[in-house]
Amino acid sequence: MKRILGFCAALLAGGAVVSSASASGFGELESEVKEFKLDNGLTFLVVERHEAPVFSFVTFVDAGGVDEVPGVTGIAHMFEHMAFKGTPTVGTDDYEKEAAAMKAVDDAWSAYADELDKGYKADALKLDELMAKFKESQEAAKEFVVSNEFSKLLEENGVQGLNASTGLDFTWYYYSLPSNRLELWARLEGDRMTNPVLREFYVERDVVIEERRFQESSPTGRLFDEVLLSAFLAHPYGTGVIGYTSDLKRITREDAWDFFDKYYVAPNMTVCVVGDVDAKEVEQLAQKYFSGVRTGKDPRRVRTIEPEHGSEIRLTREEDSQQIYAIGYHIPGSDDPNYQAYQLLGDVLASGRSSRLYTRLVKDDQLCSQIFGGVGFPGEKYPNLLVVAGFLNADANPDDVERVLRDEIEKLIRDGVTPEELDKVKTMNRAAFVRGLRSNQGLANQLAMYQGMHGDWKQLFEVTDQIDAVTAEEIQKVAAEVLRKENSVVGVIKKPSTAS
């Protein structure tokens, strides 16, 4: 929950801020949520807020990097990029000719890939010729593209916060518009979710490959990639979102269509609209513009369960960069009844300047310049990690950081949390939750996420009660269960050894 709320908080700028919600007002807010479902299975949630003439929305797709298969990693993120490329009526000046040109691009790439698949037997000269043909076909297809027309249309009509994000658990698309542009939104959003055109696929693929290179160029990025791979040996959480470079270089437009056909089906999607709108008008527009979204079978959850490792996993990178110490402990997913206890445990340990590890490692012992931590790494739908990470000061030793961390964990397991600590982290979480409901965008995000990922948006309004119900004894109990050496993965960046 903390990870999701934190992400939502980062998106709040896109919506109008309204009067503060409070725990006592959740019943009234819950009653304002209108729900309807189209015949194709697409769920809509609408909240009318008339304080300002704007509205925000989110289209939530219950699919992300965790749903990919080996060899096609990164395709969820690639499709998110494609969703901004327009439709047969937006982004082209002659779609019939463009479609033929895109097929020529696909055929040219397929020919190149077939030769490449021969491995060491591939003809280098032929590869060069095929690549030249591929690039020529791309240039020919580009002639029919009206670049960025989807985004420009929205910008001309006052869009704010136009964006999307792909995680391991889900993908969502969001922005805000003046309320008198509601039908424009419905037409554009319904069209791209019904009739996407994956134009400039291979151009955008190169952009994503650059994202991967950027991540690999960062010592921190390399460390956390390896922590994930070490922590999740079986479950697809270990592969991350962007995908492997070798996969990105080979994924095709056909792969993207396959992902769309399986996961971008109406029963696997939720659309939430919050702001200065009329719920009946939203329903009418939804019927008009979203009824064409493909129906289909709601995809099953990932079957793979990460096995217990039975022993600590450690990895060390020697790099001439800032030293980092990170440790992750396996915990259940967000549907576990005790998940709030794990969340509060992570907050007691490493969230905020008054947390135990910040106090010891930054303020008292001055071993670290920063400490952060919490649950939900790298996702929350499935069993994940409670992570603590610290950036070390120049002369600090990672072994000393680990000694302090182990000492604080032993104290917590032995003595439990104090009443003051429990009250502080509960207050912090309640405040974060309320902040997440203040803006149109924040409320839309959370309602859609609860409906899409948990199957019931009403669970959103149970969060504060769940937080309040957690006891000090429950936190102590889950701490003893999960904060064990054999349940952990440790990743360290330290200075290169000077020994010869």
Domains: count for the chain: 2
Average pLDDT rounded to a whole number, residues 81-108: 96
Judgement on whether residues 265 and 184 belong to the same structural domain of the protein: yes
CATH number at residue 268: 3.30.830.10
> Is pLDDT above 70 for 395?
yes
Q: What is the pLDDT of residue 498?
A: 67
Q: Mark whether 240 and 364 lie in a shared domain.
A: no
Shared domain for 388 and 487, answered yes or no, is yes
Query: Are the C-beta atoms of 226 and 326 separated by less than 8 Å?
Result: no
Residues 241 and 378 in one domain: no
Cα 368 vs. chain centroid, distance in angstroms?
28
Question: How confident is residue 434, by pLDDT bands cut at 50, 70 and 90?
Answer: confident
322, 252: one domain: no
* Burial of 463 (C-beta count, 10 Å sphere; 0-12/13-18/19+): buried
Task: Tell the residue number behind the tokens 């698309």, with chain if given.
Answer: 173
The string of pLDDT tens digits covering residues 170-189 is: 999 999 999 999 999 999 99
One domain, residues 356 and 272: no
Does one domain contain both 280 and 234? Answer: yes
32 falls within a domain: no
**Domain enclosing residue 360, as ranges:** 313-494
- Does the residue 51 lie in any domain? no
Specify the pTM: 0.91
3-state secondary structure of 108: helix
Residue 397 lies in a domain: yes
Above 80 in pLDDT, residue 125? yes
Q: What is the pLDDT of residues 271-294, one digit of tens each?
A: 999 999 999 999 999 999 999 999
27 part of a folded domain: no
Residue 356 sits in the same domain as residue 275: no
Q: Report which of 476, 492, 462, 170 is spatially closest to residue 322, judged by C-alpha positions.
A: 492
Instruction: Select from 289, 305, 332 the last residue of a domain.
Output: 289
The pLDDT mean for the chain works out to 92
pLDDT in tens, 329-359: 999 999 999 999 999 999 999 998 999 999 9
Residue 299 included in any domain: no
Q: Is 122 exposed, middle or buried (0-12, 13-18, 19+ CB in 10 A)?
A: middle
Residues 186 and 263 grouped into a single domain? yes
- Say whether pLDDT at 11 is over 60: no
- In terms of domains, do 423 and 279 share one? no
Asked if the structure places residue 206 within a domain, the reply is yes
* pLDDT tier at 22, thresholds 50, 70, 90: very low
User: What mean pLDDT comes out for the span 312-321?
Assistant: 94
Whether residues 220 and 277 share a domain: the answer is yes
Statement to judge: residues 279 and 331 lie in one domain? no
Which segments of 17-94 does DSSP mark as H helices, in order? 26-31, 75-82
With respect to residue 20, please indicate whether it lies within any of the assigned structural domains.
no
Of 252, 273, 289, which closes a domain?
289
Q: 192 lies in a domain? A: yes
Average pLDDT over residues 215-221: 90
CA 469 vs. chain centroid, Å, equals: 28
